[in-house]
Amino acid sequence: MPTSDSEHCIFAVDGYIGRSFKENHIMPKRTPLYAAHIVANARMVDFGGWEMPINYGSQIEEHHKVRQAAGMFDVSHMTVVDITGNQARHFLSYLLANDVAKLKTPGRALYSCMLNEKGGILDDLITYFLNETFFRMVVNAATHDKDMAWITSQARAFDVVVTERPELAMIAVQGPTAREAVLAGLPEADAAIAAELKPFSAGQFGDLFIARTGYTGEDGFEISLPAESAMKLWDQLLAASVAPCGLGARDTLRLEAGMNLYGQDMDESVTPFESALGWTVALLDERAFMGKDALLEQKENGVKSKLTGLVLQARGVLRPGQQIITNDGLGVTTSGSYSPTLQKAIAFARLPKDAVQSCQVDIRGKLLDCSIVRPPFARNGTVCEGSI
């Protein structure tokens, strides 16, 4: 990867830093698109046991392609889980901190955290409402084993069936022209319907489950489809000038967009209130859900820390784990990278709740000035106000 400050991008997805399989001495899992990545000369590394592309040349060029036109990501390492049965809604109402009662129209989606008894975040995920006995969840790759163990154990008390869907691949197509590229490849009738999908909505179009969601801060679709159909769609998008992008660019895009990464910006040791995700918690209704009592207690006693954004005001690189000195005490960076859009180093940091305006970061014993800002840093191709 590039090593100059302007080119340096710390890479981590789903809580795993990319390493070679030779280093880790493990046998990789491969997505249905593995051959396409090899043909495109992708740099492949270990992502939680999956052999996945970091980039296909320049991570920064891939980042800009998504902000300015369209890029596509193989995210088939993510886990699709179907929840079916008469108590599907009741089960998810208990399992998730956000309230699935908000999902009233088939196809609508909900972002939520899944908590343990202490209010710690087991994972963040998206749930789609298909009908009253059928919901679909997409969970993170790095948390697969613990997620499936937790979900199945909690489901035993409900009349539901939990079905993992490993036969499905997933391609995320993101950027200002992403939807246009996907729609052009659909039958005319399907394209007309898919064009009307609102953000955080989904529909089934033949063998394609198309959701207007993403992890980049740009418009686009995330498409689940049978593994045997994935290569055809990938090639179709290539022919439409959609650029293949690695998960390195996906990480810098999500950081600019103010989106948390599980395993860095949140985990079981922190609650949504400490992770800038209080907006995802439906706490004031009468619904009982896992972790609610702990969240009520924390809210009553006061939340001591916050997750917020930093912009480095000098030359240097922000990485996870760097100490932050504020007017109200010490903090630590949780994610950090060079921002290709801002052309500055940016980070998320967990700081004392009353830290404001500015702080300093300790980079190899040298204190450098940072501005404290509220993410996102950049979305929809432009820098957000207040991020510079």
pLDDT at 13 over 90: no
pLDDT at 160: 98
**Phi, psi dihedrals of residue 62, rounded to the nearest 5°:** -65, -40
Q: How many CA atoms lie within 13 A of 373 on its CB side?
A: 23
3-state helix, strand, coil in the chain (%, to 5): 25, 35, 40
- Six-digit token pair at 261? 């990464």
Spatial separation of the C-alpha atoms in residues 363 and 3, rounded to whole Å: 16
pLDDT at 26 over 80: no
List the one residue out of 152, 216, 220, 218 whose CA is nearest residue 180.
Answer: 220
Neighbour tally for 285: CB within 10 Å:
11
Sequence-separated (6 or more) residues with CB below 8 Å from residue 5: 315, 316, 317, 338, 345
Spatial separation of the C-alpha atoms in residues 173 and 317, rounded to whole Å: 29
Domains of the chain and CATH, by start: 12-76+167-256 (3.30.1360.120), 304-388 (2.40.30.110)
- Six-digit token pair at 257? 């967009």
CA dist 145 to 74, 181, 214, Å?
20, 35, 23
pLDDT at 20: 53
**382 — pLDDT class (breaks 50, 70, 90):** confident
Q: How many CA atoms lie within 13 A of 126 on its CB side?
A: 19
Q: Does this model's pTM top 0.85?
A: yes
What is the rounded average pLDDT of the residues 276-281?
98
- Is the CA virtual torsion 97, 102, 106, 110 positive or negative? negative
Question: pLDDT tens digit string along 187-203?
Answer: 999 999 999 999 999 99
Spatial separation of the C-alpha atoms in residues 8 and 65, rounded to whole Å: 17
pLDDT at 21 over 60: no
Q: How many CA atoms lie within 13 A of 121 on its CB side?
A: 27
What is the rounded average pLDDT of the residues 166-187?
98
What is the rounded average pLDDT of the residues 38-61?
95
Of 24-28, 47-51, 225-229, 242-246, which range is least confident?
24-28
Q: Tell which wins on pLDDT, 15 or 355.
A: 355
**24 — pLDDT class (breaks 50, 70, 90):** low
Sequence-separated (6 or more) residues with CB below 8 Å from residue 78: 138, 139, 140, 141, 170
pLDDT at 291 over 60: yes
pLDDT at 25 over 70: no
pLDDT at 285: 83
Q: Tell which wins on pLDDT, 145 or 17.
A: 145
Spatial separation of the C-alpha atoms in residues 334 and 351, rounded to whole Å: 10
Q: How many residues does the chain have?
A: 388
Question: pLDDT tens digit string along 262-275?
Answer: 999 999 999 999 99
Question: pLDDT tens digit string along 73-132?
Answer: 999 999 999 999 999 999 999 999 999 999 999 999 999 999 999 999 999 999 999 999
pLDDT at 230 over 60: yes
pLDDT at 76: 98
pLDDT at 92: 98
pLDDT at 165: 98
pLDDT at 30 over 90: yes
CB neighbour class for 12 (10 Å; exposed up to 12, middle 13-18, buried from 19)? buried
pLDDT at 380: 87
Spatial separation of the C-alpha atoms in residues 63 and 71, rounded to whole Å: 8
**388 — pLDDT class (breaks 50, 70, 90):** low
Average pLDDT of the chain to the nearest whole number: 93
